[in-house]
Every structure is written in C-alpha cells, then in structure tokens.
Amino acid sequence: MEVGIVGLPVSGKTTLFSTLSGQAAVGQAGGKVDVHRGVVKVPDERLDRLSEIFRPKKTTHAAIEYIEVGGMEREAASAKGFDPQFLHTLKNTAALCVMIRAFENEFHPHPSGNVDVNRDIRTVETEFLLSDLSIVENRIERLEKQILKSKEEVSVRELDLLKRCREFLESEKALREMQFSEEEELMVRGFQFLSAKPLIFVINIDEKEIKREAEILSRIPEKPHVKVIALCAKVEQEISQLAEADRAMFLEDLGIAEPALPKLIHSSYDLLGLISFFTVGETECHAWTIKQGTHAQKAAGEIHTDLERGFIRAEVVHYDEFMKWGSMAKCREHGALRLEGKQYPVKDGDIMTIRFNV
Ligand SMILES: Nc1nc2c(ncn2[C@@H]2O[C@H](COP(=O)(O)OP(=O)(O)O)[C@@H](O)[C@H]2O)c(=O)[nH]1
Ligand SMILES: [Mg+2]
C-alpha cells in the first residue's frame, strides 16, 4: 500500500516524511523532483498487547509505504501539467497526503510571500484538476480519431465516460466526487487521476498554534472523501528524536495530548477503507491489512495463497473477546472461538486461525 506525500515547496513534506519513516531524507526546499520512499509500520496497541501475551519470536505490524515527491513547484498554477516524473511516481499510490503550510518561518519564507491555508488548498486542488483535465483531453482527442477509423463499442463507451469526466473537471469538481459504475471505475482507474485519489490535507501548523488546532481546522471547508488533519511537523520531528522516557514530559509542556503521527497513519488507513486482522502464536504475531468487507477466504490469501486455495474454515475470536479471557485455551473453554466459512466478512480486530488443506 503506497501513500504519496505531496505539496507546495517549503510546506514541510521532507520534515514529515523523515519523521514518519525515521529516515534522514536530506530535504531540498524548492529543488528538483526528488523522491523519498520509506516503509512505516502502522502502530497498533492491540498487536502490542497480543505480543505481550504470546511472547512470539517475531511481531509484524501492518505497513504503509510513504513516498514524498517534490515537483509541484515546477508548474505551479500553469496549464502545462505536472512533470511526467511527478505523475509517474504517484501512479501506484492509493491515496495522497497533501502538506499545507500554516507555519511561519522567516528563514524559509512561503514561496507566495505569505501563509494562506485556503489559498494553498485551492492551488493544489486546481493543479490536480488541470493535470487530470489535460490527460482527459489528450485521451478524448485520440479516441475521437480512433472512432473515425473503426467504431468499436468499448471506445465509444470510454469516450462518453471521459467527456463526462471533462465536464466534471471543467466545473471545478474533483473526480473522486463522481459516481462510476463498476466498468467505469475500472476504465478510470487506469488513468490514475490525481483528483480521483482519496486525499488527506495535512495542515502543518505553527509550533505556537498547536493549542488552536481545532479552530484552525474549523475554517477549512469539508469535502467528500477528503480528510483534514493538523499537526506541527517540526514538533513531531522533535518528539520522534526524543528518548521514549522524555516524550511524556515534552508533550505535556507543549499541551499535546498525543503525537500526531499515529493519527496521520490511522487517517491514511481509514481513508483507504482498510482494516486489520491478526494471526497469533508463539512464532509470530502478525497484523494483516485488508479492505473492509473482505471475506475470510480472500483474507486468508493475504497470509499465503495456499491458505486461500485450500481454505476450509476460519477459527475466529475478536480481539476484545479474546482479551476478556486472556488465552486461546480459555476462549475455547468458554465457547468464544467461532468457526466461520469462506463468505464470512472479516471484522477489524478479528484474530483468525485458518484451517486449510492443499
Ligand atoms: N517553524 C516551522 N518550520 C517548519 C515546520 N515544518 C517545516 N519547517 C521548516 O521549513 C523548511 C522546509 O521544510 P521541508 O520539510 O524541507 O519542506 P518541503 O520543501 O515541503 O520538503 C525546513 O527548514 C523546515 O525545518 C513547522 O512546523 N514549523
Ligand atoms: Mg522536500
């Protein structure tokens, strides 16, 4: 699962990325298209507790890969569209995190001269719409030529769909707000439109304004499939560099209830409609990532294709129920373990043992 981190220059992308990934990405404010990649484990207290109980040799958290991509600076507010490398790098991302600058920093001034959150949000949204529009227009042009030569039905349907996309984009609406049939969804997916991707605006607030977070967020208009969260990237970076023991005091001094990074990671997870189920044992405790609504047999395939192929049944107990009894033996004794079939929709927090035969 990949999530892109993008945004205008000097908005704090590299600061956030290196904090998330624990990698010292040397940031080039306003530089060329530089790309940083890092795998980030999804914090999950439930998995930590399970590990304390099972004491396995190995504990594996769910993971998200974040990719920071520079390059929005290049074409800012032009109709030329983004650098092809920028688009290519974001191609496989399932969602985008857009950094929006709300902090003051006289040594690193905002490229537009002043801080204006809603202006920057509009700028980024417009850039995404224009980028998609130019892709749509190119494709429409080609399809029209093609249809003149041979009038294939699929092409006609695609053309019709793209014309509707164009109309949508021209009315300044993101494609993520458009309703698609299943077939259309597949057609559209191939283009990897930026305005169709689920989006998180990360408002990078000033260290002096952390306590005003709620007020800052309340001024940002709500949109479908768009999440908005606020954090101070610089402070988050400082927190991540502290020894565990010093963190609590630092947070208290700043008036922060909890670090924002887990919030961001969980937001990415929620936005993508992802949930976790667990496998547990003395060898390994493991959190697995699936889409909400995935059936047990398909979920088993996340663990191993053999488990999906030879799936018989899943033995399931929800984490909350498990914690009531404290061990698998007790769960069994009290009838808390259920047998579920192929079609069982796995719930977030289910602990599963797959019975299979290949
Ligand atoms: N005061 C302040 N400075 C920040 C904050 N976040 C980032 N910066 C600074 O702004 C500069 C640009 O940040 P960077 O992460 O490189 O931005 P990028 O161009 O979007 O990757 C760096 O000097 C950061 O230390 C913040 O929350 N507060
Ligand atoms: Mg950078």
Q: pLDDT of 277-296, one tens digit each?
A: 999 999 999 999 999 999 99
CA–centroid distance, 136 to ligand 2, in Å, is: 29
Q: Is residue 158 part of a domain?
A: yes
CA atoms within 13 A on the CB side of 288: 23
Q: Of 112-126, 237-251, 257-271, where does mean pLDDT reach its minimum?
A: 257-271
**Domain boundary residue among 180, 195, 210?**
195
CA–centroid distance, 341 to ligand 2, in Å, is: 48
**For residue 294, what are the CA distances in angstroms to 47, 80, 164, 198?**
20, 41, 31, 20
Structure letter (DSSP) for residue 173: -
Which atom of ligand 1 lies at the shortest distance from residue 107's CA? 23
Q: Is residue 283 part of a domain?
A: no
Does the CA dihedral 299-301-302-304 come out positive or negative? Answer: positive
In the predicted model, what is the mean pLDDT of residues 243-257? 84
Which atom of ligand 1 lies at the shortest distance from residue 233's CA? 27
Residues 226 and 338 in one domain: no
The CATH number of the domain holding residue 314 is 3.10.20.30
CA–centroid distance, 253 to ligand 1, in Å, is: 22
Residues 9 and 87 in one domain: yes
243 pLDDT higher than 90: no
Q: H-helix or E-strand containing 264? A: helix 261-271
Residues near ligand 1 (Cβ within 6 A): 7, 9-15, 27, 29, 99, 103, 105, 108, 204, 206-207, 232-234
**For residue 281, what are the CA distances in angstroms to 48, 86, 176, 278, 329?**
13, 43, 41, 10, 12
Alpha helices in 55-212 (DSSP H): 84-90, 117-149, 153-170, 182-189
CA–centroid distance, 10 to ligand 1, in Å, is: 6
**Domain boundary residue among 222, 255, 270?**
270
The CATH number of the domain holding residue 203 is 3.40.50.300
The CATH number of the domain holding residue 171 is 1.10.150.300
Assign 21 to helix, strand or coil: helix
CA–centroid distance, 123 to ligand 1, in Å, is: 19
Looking at residue 27, its pLDDT comes to 47
Looking at residue 1, its pLDDT comes to 82
Assign 11 to helix, strand or coil: coil
Domain count, the chain: 3
Q: Is residue 146 part of a domain?
A: yes
CA–centroid distance, 1 to ligand 2, in Å, is: 22
Looking at residue 79, its pLDDT comes to 52
Residues 347 and 314 in one domain: yes
Phi, psi at 163, each rounded to 5°: -65, -35
In the predicted model, what is the mean pLDDT of residues 200-225? 91
CA–centroid distance, 11 to ligand 1, in Å, is: 6
User: Domain range for residue 319?
Assistant: 293-356
- The ligand that comes nearest to the alpha carbon of residue 232 is 1
DSSP labels, 237-259: HHHHHS-HHHHHHHHHHHT-SS-
Q: Is residue 49 part of a domain?
A: no
68, 99, 234, 236: which to mutate for ligand 1, most atoms within 8 A of CB?
A: 234
Which atom of ligand 1 lies at the shortest distance from residue 15's CA? 15
Q: Whose CA is nearest to atom 1 of ligand 1?
A: 105
Residues 210 and 266 in one domain: yes
- The ligand that comes nearest to the alpha carbon of residue 101 is 1
Residues 108 and 212 in one domain: yes
Q: Is residue 343 part of a domain?
A: yes
Looking at residue 333, its pLDDT comes to 94
Query: 40 has which bridge partners?
Result: 64
Mean pLDDT taken over the chain: 90
**Domain boundary residue among 145, 172, 195?**
195
Q: Is residue 122 part of a domain?
A: no
In the predicted model, what is the mean pLDDT of residues 144-152? 91
Q: Whose CA is nearest to atom 5 of ligand 1?
A: 234
Q: Is residue 287 part of a domain?
A: no
Assign 180 to helix, strand or coil: coil
Residues 89 and 146 in one domain: no
Closest by Cα among 128, 133, 139, 130 to 194:
128
Q: Whose CA is nearest to atom 7 of ligand 1?
A: 12
Q: Is residue 118 part of a domain?
A: no
